[in-house]
């Protein structure tokens, strides 16, 4: 089956609409829109917004073979799309019922939908409701996902035009799916560099992209602790199920800047504490738990010196428990801990030891409030580079210079008062 050949053979009706799209390597930027029956189409299994969801499915059931029409493949992916944002899907369905499909999609000759999966889902559900066959209005691009060159072009299109789930109402990436997509595109598939990803996605600079890569690496370390064995990248869905984005983002910057010779051991201890915090009362706000640990222990050199001694043996016992029973779902952490009374005691001791250090750190932080604020200011300024100002307008650059002068004046005044 080749949709382009079928279109040229007049097997599909033209809608009369033209869609403008700039595609690298293609001279033409105006494309005819065709009404393509749903039976010829299938979902994009490389869709960045549901990639972790599909990985979770594959872990339990194995890979699916793409197949168009009313196939089992399409039925499963339809649920992936629907569950990713039910409210947005219902709104799209209502819009199509009232006004028909307003925005054409983009498909490949083999029927893969690379733009418009949410619109496709709405049309499939509409067709199921009234039993009347529906068409998906789309342009057909002569690109091949089996070609590395074309795969990169497709990814660039997805980022540049906010593809994959349509633009009736822009749907933001789940933070974990965003982190995975950046890491997978740059580090695993190697389709783009961070700079290329920045240009395609419209990001102001590469800082956020590089941070997402660091966050992904920290998540992979966490997964290797709680679910050792196999490739951690295939278990990235655990990060979404466990809602790791908040707590991981909370600690990443501090862990990345640790100068301690025991950095790896400290990182392991923090991630083990995060894992066990997903069980019990603390599970309601693990971001706050990590913030307290970061602020009062990791950022306090005096307290940090005691941290490993206080938790090291307990961390080893907990890691051994996960080695014996690697988790496969978010509920498994509780199962692993609950089935072993001795392990429960160790977890309790770990939490108590950490709590005591956090409490001591809080007392120190209150006493050294001025010093802590000064260190925070220093760290924030260290993160800035000249590239961060590149996107500012002329007026904004002038204002930025004024702010820098004010900061310099404040520092001069403070040094004078402190007689430094």
CA distances from 338 to 276, 332, 342, 349, 353 (A): 11, 10, 10, 15, 20
Q: What H or E segment, with its residue span, contains residue 106?
A: strand 105-107
| pLDDT > 70 in the chain, percent | 95
What is the C-alpha to C-alpha distance for residues 403 and 407, in angstroms, rounded to an integer? 6
pTM: 0.80
* Res. 163: pLDDT tops 50: no
CA dihedral over 27, 28, 29, 33, signed as positive or negative: negative
For the segment 204-213, the average pLDDT, to the nearest whole number, is 89
Residue 205 Ramachandran class (φ > 0 left, ψ -120 to 50 alpha, else beta): beta
For the segment 58-67, the average pLDDT, to the nearest whole number, is 91
Confidence of residue 166 (pLDDT cuts 50, 70, 90): very low
- Structure confidence at residue 291 (pLDDT): 95
260-314: per-residue pLDDT in tens? 789 999 999 999 999 999 998 888 899 999 999 999 999 988 899 899 999 999 9
Between 97-111, 167-181, 227-241, the lowest mean confidence (pLDDT) is in 167-181
In 130-245, at which residue ranges do the beta strands (DSSP E only) sit? Answer: 135-140
Task: Identify which of 9-23, 217-231, 249-263 has the greatest average pLDDT.
Answer: 217-231
For the segment 128-156, the average pLDDT, to the nearest whole number, is 89
For the segment 35-47, the average pLDDT, to the nearest whole number, is 92
349-385: per-residue pLDDT in tens? 999 999 999 998 877 665 666 676 777 788 778 778 8
C-beta of residue 314 within 8 angstroms of C-beta of residue 375: no
155 vs 226, which has greater pLDDT?
226
- Structure confidence at residue 367 (pLDDT): 62
- Structure confidence at residue 170 (pLDDT): 52
Strands 30-37 and 13-20: antiparallel
- Structure confidence at residue 169 (pLDDT): 45
Q: What H or E segment, with its residue span, contains residue 409?
A: helix 394-417
DSSP class of residue 186 equals: I
């Amino acid at each position: 089956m080749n949709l382009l050949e079928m279109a040229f053979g007049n097997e599909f009706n033209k809608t009369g609409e033209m869609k403008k799209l700039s595609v690298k390597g293609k001279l033409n930027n105006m494309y005819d829109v065709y009404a393509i029956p749903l039976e010829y189409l299938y979902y994009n299994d490389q869709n960045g917004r549901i990639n972790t969801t599909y990985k979770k499915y594959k872990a339990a059931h194995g890979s699916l073979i793409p197949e168009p029409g009313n196939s089992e493949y399409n039925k499963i992916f339809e649920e992936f799309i629907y569950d990713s944002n039910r409210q947005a899907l219902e709104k799209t369905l209502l819009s199509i019922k009232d006004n028909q499909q307003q925005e054409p999609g983009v498909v490949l000759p083999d029927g893969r939908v690379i733009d418009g999966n949410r619109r496709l889902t709405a049309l499939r559900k509409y067709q199921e409701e009234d039993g009347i066959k529906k068409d998906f209005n789309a342009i057909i691009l002569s690109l091949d996902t089996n070609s590395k060159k074309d795969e990169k072009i497709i990814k660039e299109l997805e980022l540049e035009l906010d593809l994959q789930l349509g633009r009736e109402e822009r749907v933001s990436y789940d933070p974990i799916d965003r982190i995975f997509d950046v890491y997978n595109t740059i580090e695993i598939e190697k389709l783009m560099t961070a700079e290329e990803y920045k240009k395609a996605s419209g990001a102001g600079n590469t800082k956020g992209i590089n941070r997402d890569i660091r966050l992904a690496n920290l998540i992979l370390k966490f997964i290797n602790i709680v679910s050792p064995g196999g490739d951690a990248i295939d278990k990235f869905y655990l990060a979404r199920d466990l809602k790791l984005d908040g707590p991981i983002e909370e600690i990443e910057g501090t862990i990345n800047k640790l100068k301690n010779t025991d950095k790896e051991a400290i990182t392991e201890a923090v991630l083990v504490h995060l894992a066990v915090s997903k069980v019990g009362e603390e599970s309601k706000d693990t971001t706050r738990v990590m913030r307290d640990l970061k602020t009062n222990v990791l950022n306090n050199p005096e307290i940090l010196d005691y941290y490993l001694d206080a938790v090291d043996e307990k961390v080893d016992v907990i890691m051994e428990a996960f080695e014996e029973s690697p988790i496969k779902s978010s509920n498994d952490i509780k199962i692993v801990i609950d089935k072993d009374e001795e392990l429960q005691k160790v977890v309790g001791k770990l939490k108590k030891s950490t709590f005591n250090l956090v409490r001591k750190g809080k007392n120190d932080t209150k006493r050294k409030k001025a010093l802590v604020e000064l260190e925070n200011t220093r760290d924030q300024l260290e993160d800035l580079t000249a590239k961060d100002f590149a996107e500012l307008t002329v007026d904004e650059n002038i204002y930025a210079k004024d702010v820098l002068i004010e900061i310099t004046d404040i520092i001069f005044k403070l040094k004078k008062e402190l007689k430094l």
